[in-house]
Amino acid sequence: IAARDSEDKANSKGAASTQAPNIITRDFVFDYLIVGAGFSGSVIAERLATQSGKKVLVVDKRNHIGGNAYDHYDEHGVLVHKYGPHIFHTNSREVFEYLSRFTPWRSYEHRVLASVDGQLVPIPINLDTINKLYGMSLNSLEIQDFYKSLAEPIEQIRTSEDVVVSKVGRELYEKFFRGYTRKQWGLDPSELDKSVIARIPTRTNRDNRYFTDTYQAMPLHGFTRMFENMLNHPNIKVMLNTDYREINKAIPCREMVYTGPVDEFFDYRYGKLPYRSLDFKHETHNTSVFQPAPVINYPNEHLYTRVTEFKYLTGQDHSKTSIVYEFPKAEGDPYYPVPRPENNEMYKQYKALSDAASGVYFVGRLATYKYYNMDQCVAQALTVYKQIAVKAV
Ligand code: FAD
Ligand code: UDP
């Protein structure tokens, strides 16, 4: 940015303005260029515009706002999530209250079944999962002994395999986790950081909720409507179908907030950081209900990992129903950073470049290479905004 500033100033003083009369001749039209209109970019844009009175240009190369949380009505009028199921959950009151300025909510507790050994059983594994799978009738105390009898002692829990095998042993690990993880990540759980599978607890009670956070809800009118409300401010201009590299020379901005992939920003100087991608296969069925749960996970025999039926999430009343299958793949839009030691090492090098890049803030799941949920992105963006605001006064 610093280098660009002087270049832009030079342009605005003479040569460029005579050669190309349509070039803007003021030094800065916008205070901030925000790359990406997902959670991370939209939160910072909203804060800068409304709290700090800054002029903000948000660009996204896609044809819509909302990033991966974008939802829309499909051709049958069913509200669907274009990039797979997004369920909002958080323990942070600050995050929940912040987002509540832009949307009313619909209470929603997510539940998932896993297709294992020809049966549909609750995941996370709980008392009912075990009793149904093995035809037993254990209670909460007995199941603790059952888990203990299966668990393999592991001294240092490092990998995602260790997390499960040390708690419930190899058989349940293989039924519920190994196949799913290999499909999802293209890696064996033993090659992935423990934090990945640690997202899924093991329970001794009958709680079949996927999340146990204090706040669990869906934006009543959808995520996209919430983003529209966030970005609807006279100080915010949104430019879609635009890669920031197409306009950052022509539209001078004082500073930049970047929420795209960090390795791409630095032209892959230290190599490509792996991001896992997905193919989404959307379908609409001429029946009001397709499956017995909002999401069914398929750990083993299928090429896809899970099937989501959106009406459970959105509460929409419709005679048809829309679903999505997720097929993991290596190439394509970057959806998931891949948490494992060698990737974290490469990211550290990019982090050093990010820290040294003056006038550019790196925020979000792709730019900080963190397997963050939506609420974590909001929390991180609010923190970065506060840092920017302190400097900007
Ligand atoms: P993104 O949403 O990826 O936004 C980045 C934006 O930057 C994109 O729109 C991109 O087009 C744009 N961009 C990138 N490069 C450029 C460029 N050069 N020029 C212009 N624009 C650019 N989280 C939950 O809390 N609950 C869930 O249930 C959940 N489910 C998920 C399911 C799936 C399949 C996936 C992939 C993620 C899920 N998440 C979920 C995570 C959630 O999607 C992310 O935490 C969040 O959307 C990340 O927001 P972000 O703004 O950091 O990034
Ligand atoms: N996982 C699994 N089996 C399941 C559910 C999850 O092995 O039935 C593992 C898998 O590695 C997955 C990770 O746990 O990628 C995190 O699951 P989550 O549902 O949180 O994934 P996300 O919604 O982020 O895709």
Q: Is residue 161 part of a domain?
A: yes
Note whether 39 and 185 are same-domain residues: no
Atom of ligand 2 nearest to the CA of 306: 8
What single-letter amino acid sits at 301? Answer: E
Model confidence band, residue 364 (pLDDT cutoffs 50, 70, 90): very high
For the chain, give the percent of residues with pLDDT over 70. 93
Q: Measuring from each residue's beta carbon to the nearest atom of ligand 1, which residues come in under 6 Å?
A: 35-41, 59-62, 67-69, 83-87, 243-244, 259-260, 278, 335, 364-366, 372-375, 377
Residue 107 has pLDDT above 80, yes or no: yes
Above 90 in pLDDT, residue 114? Answer: yes
Domain count along the chain? 2
23-36 average pLDDT score: 79
237 shares a domain with 98: yes
**If you average pLDDT over residues 66-88, what whole number do you get?**
98
Of 116-125, 246-255, 274-283, the one with minimum mean pLDDT is: 246-255
Nearest atom (ligand 1) to Cα of 40: 51
| Burial class of residue 132, CB neighbours in 10 A (0-12, 13-18, 19+) | middle
Q: Which of the pair, 34 or 4, is modelled with greater confidence?
A: 34
Does residue 130 share a domain with residue 95?
Answer: no
pLDDT, position 10: 40
- Please identify, by atom number, the ligand 2 atom nearest to the C-alpha of residue 176: 3
**In the chain, pLDDT over 90 holds for what percent of residues?**
91
Could you tell me the CA-to-CA distances from 27 to 32, 57, 212, 252 in Å, in that order? 13, 15, 50, 7
- Residue 3 reports pLDDT greater than 50: no
Cβ atoms within 10 Å of 379's Cβ, excluding its own: 18
What integer best gives the mean pLDDT of the chain?
94
Q: For residue 268, is pLDDT > 50?
A: yes
Q: Give me the sign of the Cα torsion angle 368, 374, 380, 385.
A: positive
Task: Decide if 271 contacts 334 (C-beta within 8 A).
Answer: no
Q: What is the DSSP string of 304-369?
A: SSEEEEHHHHH----SSEEEEEEEEESSSS--EE--SHHHHHHHHHHHHHHHHSTTEEE-STTTTT
Q: Domain check: are 103 and 120 in the same one?
A: no
Domain assignment present for 60:
yes
Instruction: Tell me, in angstroms, the distance from the centre of ligand 2 to residue 126's CA.
Output: 16
Of 197, 232, 264, the one marking the end of a domain is: 197
Give residue 49's domain range: 2-108+220-272+338-392
Q: Where are the alpha helices (DSSP H) in 51-193?
A: 93-99, 127-134, 140-150, 160-172, 179-185
Residue 230 bridge partners (DSSP): none
Question: What CATH number did the domain enclosing 100 receive?
Answer: 3.40.50.720
Work out the number of other CB atoms within 10 angstroms of the CB of residue 224. 20
- Whether residues 233 and 184 fall in one domain: no
Going by pLDDT thresholds of 50, 70 and 90, the confidence category of residue 29 is confident
CB 5 within 8 A of CB 33: no
**CA separation for the pair 377, 94 (Å, rounded):** 13
Cβ-contact 41, 58 below 8 angstroms? yes
Q: Is the pLDDT of residue 263 over 50?
A: yes
Pocket of ligand 2 (CB under 6 A): 114, 123, 176-177, 180-181, 184, 196-197, 199-200, 297, 299
